[in-house]
Amino acid sequence: MRKSTVKAVHLLKAAILLLSAVYCLFMPVMTGLGLLYNHASYGKFLTLTGVYFIVSALLMTAGTVMCGSRKKAKNILSVIFLALGFIICMVMLNNLCHYADIRGWSSNFEIERISSMYKRRLIPCVIPVTAAVVLSVLGMRRKDGKSEDYTSIL
């Protein structure tokens, strides 16, 4: 395999890890911790939503770390973790936005619904999740566990 292709794959992996750290880990964890911190005023529904946000962040991050592995089993687990974490995150985002809209939550500084703020922060996690799934699928397509032939795709 050419050195430029290997370099491109390593840069792609680094970009995926960086985007995942921000959008797939930091944003859902901070949202979940905010809901857990205020559990007394929010109630059980939003407390569980916060826990699920944290679980989804951990699943997406674990899937991102395992993506592009030389072992097929890790790539399969990566796709499963990424899909499961993303689905949980989006379902919890939908629940949280619905709850916030019904109760009329809005920003203190701008006339904006809080649900749009949550969407702006959490929907971009689709980018690193999609890139990591593509990288894992490419890893699963390899004939043997030793070669890294991405030249047909790149």
The span from the first CA to the last CA of the chain, in angstroms, equals 12
Cα 52 to Cα 8, 47, 63, 146, distances in angstroms: 35, 9, 16, 37
Average pLDDT of every residue of the chain: 88
Question: What pLDDT was estimated at residue 146?
Answer: 53
What is the reported pLDDT for 154? 40
Quick one: pLDDT at residue 1? 57
The neighbour count for residue 151, using CB atoms within 10 Å, is 11
Domain boundaries, the chain: 3-141
The pLDDT value given to residue 153: 45
Give me the residues of the chain with pLDDT under 70, please: 1, 142-154
pLDDT of 104 reads 86
What residue has token string 């491109």? Answer: 8
Residue pLDDT, tens place only, 18-53 = 999 999 999 999 999 999 999 999 889 999 999 999
Please calculate the CA angle 110-115-119 and round it to the nearest 5 degrees.
Answer: 105
145 three-state secondary structure? coil
* Cα dist from 67 to 21, 73, 75, 119, whole Å: 14, 10, 6, 26
